[in-house]
């Protein structure tokens, strides 16, 4: 099932590993509504910790508390993202396993749904905020035609979403024209292609070639079992992600490359 974008606020910065501050006293009190009352910065820290600790119950209680409804959506989402980034780094360092990582993703997404619902955004935030190519963090992702293995792609999509990207998941066994149509409709800055098999590599090459012709500004990121940096370059891709935990860094590199190209482009002449 395709991922549903809940929307990040415009200019949400990329998050990095941020250790939880030590010695911060989190003041909690049960409310009459059954939520948890936590004040100020402690509430944001508690939201971060709920994602980090895979604690869905704590997340729900915090957001149901009296101060949960007064949170600014952008601040709350960034707190959730900080927790998710800490979890991602633990997975990268092999301190946790993928099942634990996926549980944190579930808590993160639950928080996004509740925050956007409480703000009455209905997922609209972020959809129209990517017209400026400098800040375009939209990714179209899918498994190329000929391959129905999508677990790895799903994890990469979730990690990118948790890292602040708008993710448009077009599924598995995806024909070339579906990718091209998605790029046209979303104006994405990155196309992420995946396969776990060697036989669809020619299909991947074809998608890359047509993307170059029709969407020359789109950066192409590839990943999957039969790929490495050398093969990715031979196929014409701009980047290669060895795993889900390295995908955000590689995507960020491609976004930065696009940003530099935009800034370096000569300004159009008037009249």
- Residue 5 located in a structural domain: no
Cα 266 from Cα 227, distance rounded (Å)? 36
Q: Is 53 left (phi over 0), alpha (psi -120 to 50) or beta?
A: alpha
Q: Is residue 101 part of a domain?
A: yes
Choose between 255 and 270: higher pLDDT. Answer: 255
pLDDT score recorded for residue 24: 38
Contact 124, 191 (CB under 8 A): no
Q: Pairing mode, if any, of strands 138-143 and 29-30?
A: unpaired
Q: With DSSP H G I counted as helix, E B as strand and the rest as coil, what are the percentages for the chain, rounded to 5?
A: 50, 10, 40
Q: Whose CA is closest to 194, among 211, 174, 165?
A: 174
Helix (H, G, I), strand (E, B) or coil at 4: coil
On whether residue 189 sits in a domain, the answer given is yes
pLDDT in tens, 166-183: 999 999 999 999 999 999
Task: Give the span between the Cα atoms of 15 and 25, in whole angstroms.
Answer: 24
- Residue 166 has phi, psi (to 5 degrees) of -85, 120
Residue 223: domain span? 133-264
**By C-alpha distance, which of 49, 28, 50 is closest to 39?**
28
Q: Is residue 224 part of a domain?
A: yes
Is the same domain home to 108 and 185? no
Q: Which residue in 202, 223, 98, 206 sits closest to 153, CA to CA?
A: 223
CATH number, domain with residue 197: 3.40.50.280
Lowest mean pLDDT among 127-131, 133-137, 152-156: 127-131
CATH value at residue 64: 1.10.1240.10
Residue 239 has pLDDT above 70, yes or no: yes
CA 254, 257, 263, 266 dihedral sign is: negative
Same domain, 103 and 176: no
Assess whether 138 and 198 both reside in one domain: yes
Residue at a domain's end among 66, 91, 118: 118
Contacts of 230 (CB under 8 A, 6+ apart): none
Contact (CB, 8 A) for 223 and 152: yes
Tally of CB atoms within 10 A around 270: 4
From 95, 118, 141, the end of a domain falls on 118
Count of CB atoms within 10 A of residue 102's CB?
15
Say whether both 186 and 163 belong to one domain: yes
Same domain for 254 and 144, yes or no, is yes
Answer whether residue 17 is part of any domain. no
pLDDT 10s digits, 9-46: 444 444 333 344 443 333 443 433 444 455 557 889 99
Looking at the fold, whether 100 and 184 belong to one and the same domain comes out as: no
Same domain, 145 and 254: yes
The Cα–Cα gap between 63 and 110 comes to 11
74 and 191: one domain? no
Q: 95 in a domain, yes or no?
A: yes
At residue 139 the predicted structure's pLDDT band, cuts being 50, 70 and 90, is very high
In total, how many domains does the chain have?
Answer: 2
Is residue 107 a part of any domain in this protein?
yes
Q: Are residues 206 and 89 in the same domain?
A: no
Whole-angstrom CA distances from 215 to 147, 171, 179 are 24, 20, 11
| Lowest mean per-residue pLDDT among 43-52, 107-116, 175-184, 210-219 | 107-116
Q: Let me know whether 37 and 137 are in one domain.
A: no
Same-domain check for residues 97 and 142: no
Residue 94 has pLDDT above 70, yes or no: yes
18 belongs to a structural domain: no
Q: Which residue, of 62, 84, 118, is where some domain finishes?
A: 118
Hey, which of 106-115, 123-132, 186-195 has the most confident mean pLDDT? Answer: 186-195
pLDDT at 158: 85
């Amino acid at each position: 099932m395709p991922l549903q974008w809940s929307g990040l606020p415009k200019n949400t910065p990329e998050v990095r590993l941020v250790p939880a501050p030590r010695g911060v006293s989190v003041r909690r009190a049960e409310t009459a509504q059954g939520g948890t009352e936590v004040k100020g910065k402690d509430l944001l820290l508690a939201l971060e910790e709920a994602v980090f600790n895979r604690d869905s119950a704590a997340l729900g209680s915090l957001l149901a508390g009296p101060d949960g409804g007064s949170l600014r959506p952008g601040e709350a989402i960034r707190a959730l993202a900080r927790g998710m980034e800490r979890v991602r780094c633990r997975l990268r360092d092999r301190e946790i396993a993928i099942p634990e990582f996926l549980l944190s993703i579930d808590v993160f997404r639950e928080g996004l749904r509740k925050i956007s619902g409480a703000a009455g955004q209905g997922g609209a935030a972020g959809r129209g905020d990517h017209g400026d190519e400098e800040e375009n963090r939209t990714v179209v992702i899918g498994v190329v035609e000929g391959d129905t293995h999508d677990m790895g792609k799903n994890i990469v999509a979730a990690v990118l979403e948790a890292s602040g990207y708008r993710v448009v998941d077009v599924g598995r066994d995806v024909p070339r024209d579906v990718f091209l149509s998605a790029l046209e409709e979303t104006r994405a800055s990155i196309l992420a292609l995946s396969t776990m098999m060697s036989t669809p590599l020619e299909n991947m090459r074809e998608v890359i070639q047509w993307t170059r012709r029709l969407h020359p500004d789109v950066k192409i990121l590839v990943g999957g079992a039969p790929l490495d940096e050398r093969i990715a370059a031979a196929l014409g891709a701009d980047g290669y992600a060895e795993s889900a935990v390295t995908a955000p860094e590689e995507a960020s590199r491609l976004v930065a490359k696009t940003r530099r190209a935009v800034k370096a482009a000569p300004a159009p002449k008037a009249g």
